[in-house]
Amino acid sequence: MTTTHDAKLTSRVLWVDRFLTLIRITFIVVISVGLLAFVAQQINPQNPFAQWANPDATGLTAPQFKGLLVTGLAQGAMYGLIALGYSMVYGVLGFINFAHGEVFMVGAMSGMITSNKLADAGLWEDAFLLCLLFIVVTSILLSTATAVIMERVAYRPLRGAPRLIPLITSIGVSFFLQNLSVVLLGPGAKSYPTLPSWLSQKRSLVGFQIEGTKLLVLLTAAVSMAGLWFLVERTRTGKAMRAVAEDKEIAALMGIDVNRTIVKTFAVGGAMAGVAGILWGILFRSVIHTTGFLPGIKAFSAAVVGGIGNLGGAMAGGLSLGAAEATAPLVLLEPLGVDGVSQLRDAVAFAVLIFVLLVRPSGLFGERLSEDERA
């Protein structure tokens, strides 16, 4: 009796394994054939392999490719900044705060309001950098406040509950914030004022033609990341955060105020999302109450791809996800003759997530954590 039961169990595991291996192989075949076809088409669109893969392919020029890459990295930098918040909260509390995308939306909305007010006052074009500083600071304040209140009202009362409970709560908080935005600001899309023309100009930098806005996004993300790294690795607060992430009871024994450290973690994650919200506004100039959803989910994917709980991993995950979704449709799918590839960005982003989880379940930079270490 027991043996047949065991045998059944093993054969089922094998079946799942075969299925997963099949998916892995499919991914690898698509990626390698796509890449080969891309290379073939780059050499000469008329060669037989390129013709076989996609007779209509034209190949990409180097400037086109670089343009895609820069766009992808700029967007990826935003994913990375949002992903830091997912990763930090997961680090200290062990659950995914799905309302974090809405914290980002709050930041973008705050920037929309302040930047339009500044534009009405005629300051936006004249003193752009000062205005930018102002809208970043107000956005950080507002999104930090949102994250902190969220922790206090929605998550702290659930501290002792099973991890699924705060997870579900976070989805509720997410809907609440979206609807609050509709109530306060109305349901339509709202736009940021026109950027000064000097910012939108392209500049050359190490062989890349980069638009000023994208440069601004990349620079701001780099500065924020450096600031965060310093905070976490080099300050007393950062050490307390890392200690709380590992063992709350012993952290308390060291004299660390665990609750306050958790609040600080939410605050820092919220601040990063606030910065990302402004960058989103600068880059796309349009926000709506659902703005937080897709970037939020992608940032969550980025955090998982990088290895959740690992801050450098979150940033790297964001950049690679952004770069992948911008370049992969034209580099991998177009050469294979897939139709309408530019519509497939989102599919590519989540395919990257699935692929990384299949190949490296702990993420690119994640450490393997056993269940007792996690608890």
Q: Which residues bind other proteins (CB under 8 A)?
A: 236, 239-240, 242-243, 246-247, 249-257, 367, 373
Choice between 48 and 255, CB closer to other proteins: 255
Q: How far is CA 110 from CA 85, 116, 287, 352, in A?
A: 18, 10, 10, 32
Taking each helix axis from N to C terminus, what angle separates 293-306 and 311-328, rounded to the nearest 10 degrees?
A: 120
- The answer to whether the beta carbons of residues 286 and 190 sit under 8 Å apart is yes
> Positive or negative, the Cα torsion across 254, 258, 264, 269?
positive
By beta-carbon proximity to other proteins, the closer residue of 346 and 367 is: 367
Query: Taking the complex as a whole, how short is the minimal distance between the CB of residue 158 and other proteins, in angstroms?
Result: 19
Nearer to other proteins, 258 or 364 (CB): 258
Q: Which is nearer to other proteins, 251 or 302 (CB)?
A: 251
By beta-carbon proximity to other proteins, the closer residue of 188 and 255 is: 255
CB 286 within 8 A of CB 189: yes
- Output the smallest distance, CB 233 to other proteins, in A: 10
Write the CA distances from 374 to 119, 163, 226, 246, 300, integer angstroms.
Answer: 49, 11, 27, 8, 19
Per 3-state DSSP, the chain is made up of helix, strand and coil in percentages (nearest 5) of 75, 5, 20
Nearer to other proteins, 237 or 286 (CB): 237
CB of 30 to other proteins, least distance (A): 37
DSSP 8-state secondary structure symbol assigned to residue 365: S
How far from the centroid of its chain's Cα atoms is residue 63's Cα? 26
**Helices and strands counted in the chain (H then E):** 15, 4
Q: Least distance to other proteins from the beta carbon of 245, Å?
A: 8
- Minimum Å gap between C-beta 247 and other proteins is 6
Provide the minimum distance between the beta carbon of 230 and other proteins in the complex, in angstroms, as a whole number: 15
Shortest distance (Å) from residue 84 CB to other proteins: 18
DSSP one-letter string for 248-276: HHHHHHTT--HHHHHHHHHHHHHHHHHHH
In the complex, minimum distance from the CB of residue 227 to other proteins, in angstroms, rounded to a whole number: 20
> Taking the mean position of all CA atoms in its chain, how far away is CA 192?
22
Q: Which is nearer to other proteins, 255 or 340 (CB)?
A: 255
Query: And the tokens for 129?
Result: 């950098």
Burial class (CB in 10 A: 0-12, 13-18, 19+), 255: exposed
State which residue, 243 or 276, has the beta carbon closest to other proteins: 243
Torsion of CA 203, 204, 206, 212, to 10 degrees: 10
